[in-house]
Structure 1
Amino acid sequence: MSSRILITGATGFIGGFIVEEALRRGMEVWVAVRKSSSRRFLTDTRINFIELNLGSSADIERSLAGLSFDYVVHAAGVTKCVDSADFYRVNTLGTINLVKALLHLGGNIRRFVYISSLSSYGPVHEDEPLREIKPSDPQCPDTAYGRSKMESERCLNTILGDDGKGNTFPYVILCPTGVYGPRERDYFMMAKSIRSHVDFAVGYRPQHLTFVYVLDVVQAVFLALERGRNGGRYFLSDGNVYSSRTFSDLLHRELGVGLLLRIKAPICFLRVVTFVGEHVGRLTGKASALNNDKFHIMKQRNWRCDISDTINDLGYVPHYDLGRGVPLTVSWYKEHGWL
C-alpha cells in the first residue's frame, strides 16, 4: 500500500513541485486547497483535493475526519501582505491550527515537515560578512514575515512538541534561503527588468547572497521525510555564496538582451521606494512586492548560511548552482510565455 501524504500550499510555487515529486514516487497525494485557489499546475488526475480552512483547528478537524496520513508537508503561507498582521494570522496561527488538529485527530504521522525560511533568523551576523548563520544562532528577524516564521517554529519547538500522551510530535523544520526556479514570481521581476535593459541594485557595501533552486528544496523535503531528526532544523542553500551581481549577470547572459543600464542606488532610496509601495498596496488592497519587509530583506548584506547539518543528517547534495539553475529558469519563462 502506498504512503499517504497531505501537502498544504500546493497551489504555490514550492508546493506544486512537492506534489509532482510525491506523485512520481507513487504516493497517494492529498492537496489542501481553498475555494479560490488556482489549480493551474495541479492537473494530474491522481491528485486528491480537500478544502482546508487553516484559520480554524475545528474546521480542519472536520475536513480531515476519517482520514489519516503517513506524512504531512506544510508549505502554505504568505510572503507579502497588505496588512502585516496577516503574516501572523496565516503563517503562525495557520501552522498552530493545523498541528493542533492533527494532534487531536490522532493517527500515526511518521513525519511533519514545516517549510520555514532563513528570514526567521534575520540579520544575525550583519556586521560579520564572512560568518555563516547557523541553526544554533539566536533568531532576530527584522521583518513581519520572518517573525511569523520564527513564531511558528517556536510553537513547534515548545507548545506543540508533545501530544499530551507522551508521544513526541515528529516534526522537522526546513529553512531555505532565496528560492528560485520555474513559476517563481519575485526573481521573475528581475528578469523582466533586465529584459527591458535595466538592472537595479541597492547599496554600496558588498552583499553576500545565497540561493537554492526549487528542485533542491524538494529533494530536501523528501530526505527530511525519510531521515530527518525529530525536532531538527535544517538550512537549505546550494552551498555557494554569490556576489550581488552574479544572479543578474546570469540573467543578462541567458536573456541575451545586449546593452544593459546598471543603476546602483543608496539604501535610503530603497527606503523611499518601499515606503511608497507599502502605502500604495494599502490604498489598492493589493500587496506590493516592494514593501517594508522587502526593504529589510534587500538591505541585508550577509545571507551566508551553514548547511552542514542538512548534508550530514539528511544526505542532502545540492544539484543546482546558479550556473545550472538560472538557465533552466529562464528557459521555462520563455517556453511558457512569461518572457
Structure 2
Amino acid sequence: MKILVTGASGFVGGHLIERLLKDGHDVFALVRNPKKLAIPAHERLQVVKGDLDQDNLSWVETLPADLNTCVHTAGIVHAYRTDEFYRVNTEGTRNLVNNLKKKYTSLHFVLISSLAAAGPSAGTEKRNENDMDLPVSIYGRSKKQAEEVLKEAAPKTFDLAVIRPPMVIGPRDAAVLDIFKMVQSGVILLPGFGSKEKLYSFVCVFDLVNTIVKVIEEKKTTVYYSSHPQVVTFNELILEIKKQLKKNWLIYLPMPLFLVKLLTIILDFIYKLFPHPLRLTPDKYHEFAATNWTCDGAKTEKELGQVYNYDIERTITVTLIDYKSRNWI
C-alpha cells in the first residue's frame, strides 16, 4: 500500500512508520522539519515537508495519484494557549481533509484521536464505543471536534476510521518521561488526596501501532479504543517504575485540588512572561480532577483479532531500556 502518515516526527507517527516500512508499505512521511525525523533513509520512505496550517496545502500535489491511506497522527496534547488546540487538532484536520478530497475521490482516512475526546468514565466501568462522549478538557474537545470535522468534510467515497488510545507509553515518549523522572527523584506530587487510587487504562505504543496496522490492512470504518485489558491505579504505575528503577524509597506529597488549580494559573501567568516546558497547564487540571480514565479495547480483540502483548510491567521495561540508552534517565 501507499500510505501518508502525518505527524511523522512524533511519538506514535515515528513508531508507525517503522512498522509500515518493515511490512513492505510505501510511506509518505509529513513533517515540518525533515531534520527532526528520527527514521533512517529507506527506499520505501519519502519525506514530505509541509504542515497543516494553511487552507491550501501545496504539498498534497506531490503525493502519488494512487495513494491508498492517510493516517493522521499529527496533533498537540499540551498548550498554554487554548486556541492552539483547535488550530492544530481541529482545523488542521479540516485543512487536511479538504485538500485531500480535491485530489482523491476515494481514500481510507484513519484519525488517531484520544480517550480524552470521550472523557473520563462516570462510574467504575470502562468506557466503550457506545457510550456518550463528554470531554472535560479543551484538548479533549478539540480532538472530539476533529472527529466531527472528519465526518462532515470527508466525501462519502472516503472510508473513515477513528482510533482512540488512552495513555500511550513506550520508547521515545517524552510525556511519560516526566513520571519516570519524578519517581527517580523520590518525590511524588499527587494532584488531589485520592490520586493514588485513580484508575487508568494504557496501551504500549507497539500494541497501538498493531491496532492501526490492522485497521489499515482490513480497511475498517468504525471507532476503536486501543487499550490493554489491564487497568492500573496511579500508585501501581508509580510502584512499577520504582521497582524497575530499583528505587528504595518514595515520598508522596498530596496537594488539594484547589491548590493544584491555583498552581496551574500561576504557571500560566509565568509562562506568558517566561516560556517554560512544564506540562502542568490550566487545561490539564480538568483531566487531573477526574478519577477514572479507563476504556475497553474488547472491540479490537473481537473484530481485529488484536492481542495486547505488553502489560504494564513489560511496557515499563521496554520504555526504561530506551530512556537509559538515550541518557534521558
Q: TM-score range by the shorter chain?
A: over 0.9
The residue that corresponds to 1:45 in the other structure is 42
CA distance in 2, matches of 1:45, 1:6: 15
Q: 1:9·1:33 contact (CA, 8 Å) conserved in 2?
A: yes
The alignment partner of 1:49 has SS state of strand
Encode CA deviations 1:189-213: one digit per residue, 9 max, x unaligned: 1111211121222223331111111
- Asked if the contact 2:56–2:99 (Cα under 8 Å) also holds between the matched residues in 1, the reply is yes
Picking from 180, 189, 195, the partner of 2:184 is 195
| Correspondence list, 1:258-273, <5 A | 258-273=248-263
Deviations 1:29-68 (A, max 9, x none): 11001137612x2223332111223122422465446544
Alignment deviations for residues 241-266 of structure 1 (CA, whole Å, 9 cap, x no partner) = 11120111011111112222222222
Q: Which residue of 1 aligns with 2:314?
A: 324
Structure 1 spans left out of the alignment, 5+ residues:
none
**Structure 1 residue aligned with 2:217:** 226
Which position in structure 1 is the counterpart of 2:245? 255
Q: How does 1:141-220 map to 2 (within 5 A)?
A: 141-157=135-151, 159-161=152-154, 163=155, 167-205=156-194, 206-220=197-211
Q: Separation in 2 of the partners of 1:173 and 1:318?
A: 19
* 1:107 to partner: Cα distance: 4.9
**2:111 and 2:242 mapped to 1: Cα distance?**
34
Q: Is the 8 A contact 1:236 1:307 kept in 2?
A: yes
Q: Which SS does the other structure have where 2:278 is aligned?
A: coil
Q: Distance in 2 between matches of 1:94 and 1:311?
A: 31
8 A Cα contact 2:106 2:158, kept in partner = no
**1:132 is aligned to 2:126:** yes
Match of 2:74 in 1: 76
Cα distance in structure 2, aligned partners of 1:323 and 1:240? 11
Letter in 1 for 2:118: Y
SS of aligned partner of 1:245:
helix
Partners of 2:135 and 2:244 lie apart in 1 by: 34
Out of 53, 56, 59, the residue aligned to residue 58 of structure 1 is 56
Quote the offset at 1:282 in angstroms.
2.5
What is the 5 A alignment of 1:232-247? 232-247=222-237
Query: Any idea what the Cα deviations from partners look like across 1:79-119, whole Å, max 9, x if unmatched?
Result: 1123110111111111111111111102542x211100000
- SS at the partner of 1:102? helix
Q: Please, what TM-score do these two structures have when normalized by structure 2?
A: 0.93
Which segments of 5 or more consecutive residues in structure 2 lack a partner in the other structure?
A: none
Identity rate, percent? 29
Change (3 A) 1:288 1:97: same
What secondary structure sits across from 1:257 in the alignment?
coil
Deviations 1:265-316 (A, max 9, x none): 2222221222222222222345630001221112210112122222222222
Summarize deviations over 1:138-192 as a string: whole Å, max 9, x none: 22212111111000111223x124x2xxx43111100000001111112111111
Q: Work out whether 1:115 is the aligned partner of 2:112.
A: yes
- Please give the alpha-carbon distance, in whole angstroms, between the structure 1 residues aligned to 2:166 and 2:105: 32
The more displaced of 53-62 and 202-211 is 53-62
1:106 matched residue in structure 2: 104
Which amino acid letter does the alignment assign opposite residue 44 of structure 1?
Answer: A
Write the distance in 2 (CA, Å) between the matches of 1:140 and 1:37. Answer: 38
Counterpart amino acid of 1:179?
V
CA root-mean-square deviation: 1.8
Q: Does the CA-based 8 Å contact 1:124-1:137 persist in structure 2?
A: no
Question: Which residue does the alignment assign to 2:270?
Answer: 280
Write the distance in 1 (CA, Å) between the matches of 2:61 and 2:76: 22
**Equivalent residue, structure 1, for 2:84:** 86
SS in 2 for 1:263: strand
Change (3 A) 1:154 1:91: same
Q: Output the CA distance in 2 between the equivalents of 1:62 and 1:200.
A: 45
Matched length? 326
Matched, 1:315 2:305: yes
With structure 1 as the length reference, what TM-score do the two structures score? 0.90
**1:16–1:42 contact (8 Å) kept in structure 2:** yes
C-alpha separation in 1, matches of 2:326 and 2:15: 16
The amino acid that maps onto 1:240 is Q
SS in 1 for 2:153: coil
- Shifted more, 327-336 versus 203-212: the winner is 203-212
Distance 1:53 1:334 in 2: 32
